[in-house]
Structure 1
Amino acid sequence: MPSTNAQDERHFTQFMEEYGDKALRYAFVTLHVRDDAEDVAQEAFVRLWRHAKRHGVDNLSPALLFHTLTNLCRDRMRYYKRHPEDPTDILETTQQSAMDEIPLLMDDMNVLEAVMQLGVAERQCILLFYYMDRSLKETATALGVSEQVVKTRLYRARQHLRPLLEPIWKEGLI
């Protein structure tokens, strides 16, 4: 069992600095609640640190991070389904809505609004592949699906986005 030393801690800190914002954005766009996104991103890095202590820091990868994030986001969404919020809690949460946080991820609100209308699976593929510049293989690994499934989801997402973005594109707004 590899133990961690100062060099491993520096390497992990560098990994966190490089991918921390991306992890938070990914979790936020998936969950739509900033506090939950922060919790999930933190938990993902805690789990990666434990993984690094067992298997070595050299085994850390963005694919492992996003795979962990995806699973934690799924767990959180399952929790939401089983434990619906009190309507007063929802009102408080929506005051700091997803649209307030979006400039972190995309400059164009029209594109973001269209992407937010996609289903979770398609939205995750779009975010990982296009906005986080992950390859098909990395996206598939992060989501725990095959590359063909990622290709299919990307195709369907583009098909869903086309009618939403075409009028805006023709006007020259994007």
Structure 2
Amino acid sequence: MEQMDVRLAKLARKGDRAAFAELVELYKDKIFHLAYRMLHSRHEAEEIVQETFLRVFTNLDRYDEFQKFSTWIYRIGTNLCIDRLRKRKATYSLDAEMKDGEGTDWYSTLPSLEDTPDEQVVLSETQTEIRKSIDSLPEKYKSVVILRYLQDLSLQEISDVLSMPVTTIKTRLHRGREFLRKKLERVL
């Protein structure tokens, strides 16, 4: 049976605006979370979502309906994030001032299932340390780790999104985990 998103993409390609709106509803939050986790900026994540859907809309005729739609849209979103990170990298300065708490405590704003405030604080601090460790990963490991563990994509899906062999994905994941393990052993 044909995937619903593939069917919607075909309809949208033929000019069905309602079908495109459904695609947006299906993927806007997923792309936002991907972008937010990669860029740590709500504003930039919102821009990436808009850019992603603009590219999807303008390139629907290029979509190969024999591949998963999710892989295609994640590839677009991930590439836009990577481009944004590359552009941003050149503008960092060691002398630049950071706004209070900028990009350091976003996990603590997530609703918690923990019962006590103490448990919530410990969880928040642990997650903040993990987030900092992920942030410090070299770019080539960071995107793979985020796609695998935060977006829950399979190795094959990550391979498709990043246009790399699965063996490369496995190697980068292993090295990324080793980097995180060593970093977190010192911190936690």
How does the TM-score come out when normalised to structure 1? 0.74
Change in 2 beyond 3 A, CA 1:86/1:134? closer
Instruction: Name 1:137's counterpart in structure 2.
Output: 156
Matches within 5 A, 1:1-174: 2-5=13-16, 9-52=17-60, 54=61, 61-81=69-89, 84=91, 91=97, 94-95=99-100, 97-102=102-107, 103=109, 108-166=127-185
- The answer to which structure has the higher helix fraction is 1
Q: Is the 8 A contact 2:52 2:76 kept in 1?
A: yes
Cα distance in 1 between the residues matched to 2:172 and 2:29: 25
Cα distance in 2 between the residues matched to 1:24 and 1:149: 26
- What's the CA shift for 1:55? 5.0
Q: Which amino acid aligns with 2:147?
A: L
Cα distance in 2 between the residues matched to 1:60 and 1:105: 31
Structure 1 gaps, min length 5: 170-174
Q: For residues 22-60 of structure 1, give each alpha carbon's deviation from its aligned partner in whole angstroms, at most 9, with x where no partner exists.
A: 2122222322333222212210111112223x2579677
Structure 2 gaps, min length 5: 1-9, 113-123
Provide the identity percentage. Answer: 27
Name the Cα RMSD after superposition. Answer: 3.3
Cα distance in 1 between the residues matched to 2:181 and 2:111: 20
Q: For residues 97-120 of structure 1, give each alpha carbon's deviation from its aligned partner in whole angstroms, at most 9, with x where no partner exists.
A: 222433559963232222222122
Cα distance in 2 between the residues matched to 1:78 and 1:163: 26
Q: Which amino acid aligns with 2:41?
A: V
